[in-house]
Amino acid sequence: MSEKVLMKGNEAIAEAALMAGCRHYFGYPITPQTELTAYMAKRLPKMGGVFLQAESELAAINMVIGVSSCGKRVMTSSSSPGISLKSEGLSYLAGCCLPAFVVNVQRGGPGLGGIQPSQSDYWQATRGAHGDYRTIVLAPDSVQEMVSLTIKGFELADKYRMTSMLLADGTLGQMMEPVSLDAGEIKTFDKPWATTGTKMARPHNIINSLSLIPEELEQWNLERFARYDEAEANEVMYEEYKMEDADVCIVSFGITARVSKNAVDEARAAGIKAGMIRPITLWPFPKKPLLAAADKVKAFISVEMSMGQMIEDVELATRCKRPVLLCNRTGGVIPSVKEVLEKINEAEKIGGDRA
Amino acid sequence: MAATQIIFAGFGGQGILFSGKFLANGALLEDRQVSWLPSYGPEMRGGTANCSVIISDMPIGSPIVADPDVVVVMNNPSFDKYEELLVPGGKAFIDSSLITRQAVRTDIEAYYIPATQIASDNGLDGLANMVIIGNLIRKTGVVSWDNAETLVRKIVPAKRPELIEYNLKALDLGYNWEN
């Protein structure tokens, strides 16, 4: 294990991307993710890579499409309003079956919103732009996990030929924690589809998202979803915290999972059996452990920094077997440990039969 | 030692974020758990700045400090805001060159250090933050004083080696200040 260093989340993502073999970055600065862009501006040219501050977010995501078509690892990053601008390109990436790594360090919305942390792009990240497609969504809760999930993100994108998005927030992007930059082995994947020149030895590879023949487009979508099914079957990640005997199950990701962990500990100190399931992949969503928990706990609490977005996935995953309460703040406000604790108390009082 | 939750607050430009970074690196050097969370945004440009540091022997949950054990305050608004948040028995380090009032609470330990004046008198303008940190290390023991020099050498940018001596002097003045 390498020596630990103190790093900001934004910088750790950038360093991890370099470790994963990314040598092409296109972006446009925006608070609270600008340190990521700045880090790439400093490092990539010295490594023989390409750093380009595009004229707009739209330009940046289309540059990503270009580099990805050539089979190279490539990324872009932004914060909420910037990701909206990139949405068209995200759909085109999916239509072209191209891998890409995209980072969203979320801030409050909608519109220009604010610059304080938020998780209100959950729907956007897990549902995406127009058309039938999926995005792998990775939700780190520490600077260390920002490193490991960035590397994983590049690998998954290549493996399934799709976009993987790291969904962080302003707090995680700005905070510093000790981090070990020990990557281990980086997985790479053959890309026989890439447009790297035929050398007169193979037919042309064509990267395209347009088909005017409905049956053909349908077929493309079916093929896409066969890959998504595989990702859904193989790549679910989550953490269970004190769930063995839990009566109340918190579901939370990212920074609010950190707050919730403290609340679980405080609840337990007060004699309430609380636990947490922390989705690390928001898509694919950890449906199985949640459904299993629904047979054991009295109630769930979705703790999130939005008006309640992930709560819908929790209700779907648990098939509404138990009540799902919402503990939320929005607009850039982070729920406090006390607020989560109050909700745990409320959930614990919910009676009814336990299966 | 269990967890110590610290808030540094003052104006942008007083080295508030750097102070937090200094202590965070001190904790890292001792192989302890640590988190550092800054305020960010428009307030950094000359308005108020603050950062939260947690140093612990256990993994750190939330990096947000709601109930600080220690606060360092370098302007009046920060003192007004954070005095009431301190836990009972908590310690406040107050730059008394800039803060004009005394602590209202009697269940906290208030340390008054005319840090800006001390720094200025010793040709160390801009290093009032390090004067306070020196005093804080002495009064809290949150990081080891023995590592102070190693830390300064680690954190001061390589391009400005002359700052090492100044930082060490500022720390020393604070450490030896009798409140």
pLDDT tens profile B149-165? 999 999 988 888 889 99
d(CA A176, CA A143) in angstroms, rounded, equals 7
Find chain A residues with C-beta within 8 A of B25's C-beta. Answer: 6
Interface of A with B (CB under 8 A): 4-6, 31-32, 115-116, 170-171, 174-178, 255, 258-259, 261-262, 265, 334, 336-338
Q: Provide the residue count of chain B.
A: 179
> What's the pLDDT band for B64 if we cut at 50, 70, 90?
very high
Find chain A residues with C-beta within 8 A of B37's C-beta. Answer: 171, 174-176
Task: Name residues whose C-beta falls within 8 Å of residue A159's C-beta, 6 or more positions apart in sequence.
Answer: A187, A189, A231
d(CA A289, CA A318) in angstroms, rounded, equals 9
**CATH superfamily ID and name for B4-175:** Pyruvate-ferredoxin oxidoreductase, PFOR, domain III (3.40.920.10)
Of chain B residues 15-34, which have a CB less than 8 A from chain A? 21, 24-25, 28, 33-34
Of chain B residues 50-109, which have a CB less than 8 A from chain A? 60-64, 66
CB-CB under 8 Å, A115 with B34: no
Find chain B residues with C-beta within 8 A of A115's C-beta. Answer: 40-42
Question: Considering CB atoms only, which of B37, B41, B60 is closest to A115?
Answer: B41
Question: Considering CB atoms only, which of B34, B36, B41 is closest to A31?
Answer: B41
Q: For B65-100, how does the pLDDT look when each residue is reduced to its tens digit (9 = 90+)?
A: 999 999 999 999 999 999 999 999 999 999 999 999
The DSSP element (H or E) to which A202 belongs, if any, is none
Q: Which CATH number applies to A239-348?
A: 3.40.50.920
CB-CB under 8 Å, B61 with A176: no
Question: Token pair 């080891």 is at which residue?
Answer: B144
Q: Which of B88, B95, B81 is nearest to B52 (CA)?
A: B81
- B119 touches A: beta carbon within 8 Å: no
CB-CB under 8 Å, A265 with B40: no
d(CA B151, CA B25) in angstroms, rounded, equals 7
For chain B, state the CA radius of gyration.
Answer: 15
Q: Which of A166, A141, A167, A134 is nearest to A152 (CA)?
A: A166
CB-CB under 8 Å, B24 with A259: no
Show me where the domains of chain B are located.
Answer: 4-175
Six-digit token string for B128: 């009032």
Six-digit token string for A23: 């040598």
Find chain B residues with C-beta within 8 A of A4's C-beta. Answer: 28
One digit per residue, pLDDT tens: chain A, 355 residues? 568 999 999 999 999 999 999 999 999 999 999 999 999 999 999 999 999 999 999 999 999 999 999 999 999 999 999 999 999 999 999 999 999 999 999 999 999 999 999 999 999 999 999 999 999 999 999 999 999 999 999 999 999 999 999 999 999 999 999 999 988 899 999 999 999 999 999 999 999 999 999 999 999 999 999 999 999 999 999 999 999 999 999 999 999 999 999 999 999 999 999 999 999 999 999 999 999 999 999 999 999 999 999 999 999 999 999 999 999 999 999 999 999 999 999 999 986 544 4
CA A62 to chain centre: 20
The DSSP element (H or E) to which A296 belongs, if any, is none
Query: ∠ CA(A296), CA(A320), CA(A336), 5° rounding?
Result: 75
Question: How are strands ordered across the β-sheet holding A281-283?
Answer: A50-53, A24-27, A74-78, A100-106, A163-169, A136-138, A281-283
Q: Which of A5, A334, A310, A305 is nearest to A147 (CA)?
A: A5
d(CA A164, CA A220) in angstroms, rounded, equals 20
CATH class of residue range A4-234: alpha beta
Whether the ipTM is more than 0.95: the answer is: no
B37 to chain A, minimum CA–CA distance in Å? 4
Task: Name residues whose C-beta falls within 8 Å of residue A83's C-beta, 6 or more positions apart in sequence.
Answer: A57, A102, A104, A121, A124, A125
CB-CB under 8 Å, B61 with A258: yes
- B38 touches A: beta carbon within 8 Å: yes
Phi first, then psi: what are they for A138, rounded to 5°? -110, 130
Show me where the domains of chain A are located.
Answer: 4-234, 239-348
